[in-house]
Amino acid sequence: MSGLKNTDSFSLRKRLKSFHFAFNGIKHLIKSEHNARIHLLALICVLALGVFFRIELAEWIAIIIVAGLVFLTELLNTAIERLADFVEPKWNDKIGLIKDYCAGAVLISALISMLVGGLIFIPKIIEWWG
């Protein structure tokens, strides 16, 4: 720590307001980012499949973790992109590479979630179909 004391006392109102800011960020992500809406639609489909196939608790846990990973990386990607655009509105090769790294993180999280979803649902779909 910097040696400075935190003189703010605990305030339930301030804590609740911080949730408001967090939910506002999530709401803005869904409204402004096309890929986030695609991820949300995919999640809704996966949740419906999970209910339809009555998946096990461990499978639900895996889905929750990977879905959280996707939305977490999408939020961080968007935040870094917005910050980079604010700091340097003109094209910059170094910032472009940073944005590529962030997009790569989102892609990896989405691929992991697809792999987990495939491992869970493909055997169930094959059994149901056959």
Whether residue 16 lies inside any domain: the answer is no
Per-residue pLDDT of 61-79, as tens digits, reads 999 999 999 999 999 999 9
pLDDT digits (tens, 9 = 90+) for 1-44: 455 666 678 888 888 889 999 999 999 999 999 999 999 999 99
Host domain of residue 93: 31-121
Domain count, the chain: 1
Dihedral pair phi/psi, residue 10, rounded to 5°: -65, 135
pTM: 0.86
User: In the prediction, which pLDDT does 10 show?
Assistant: 84
Q: Look at residue 115 and tell me if it is in a domain.
A: yes
In a domain, 10, yes or no: no
- The domain spanning residue 96 has which CATH number? 1.10.287.3610
Name the nearest CA neighbour of 98 among 118, 117, 76, 122. Answer: 76
Domain assignment present for 77: yes
Residue 58, in any domain of the structure: yes
In percent, the amount of the chain with pLDDT more than 70 equals 95
Task: Burial-class residue 106 by CB neighbours within 10 Å (0-12, 13-18, 19+).
Answer: buried
Whole-angstrom Cα distance, residue 33 to residue 22?
Answer: 16
Residue 49, pLDDT above cutoff 70: yes
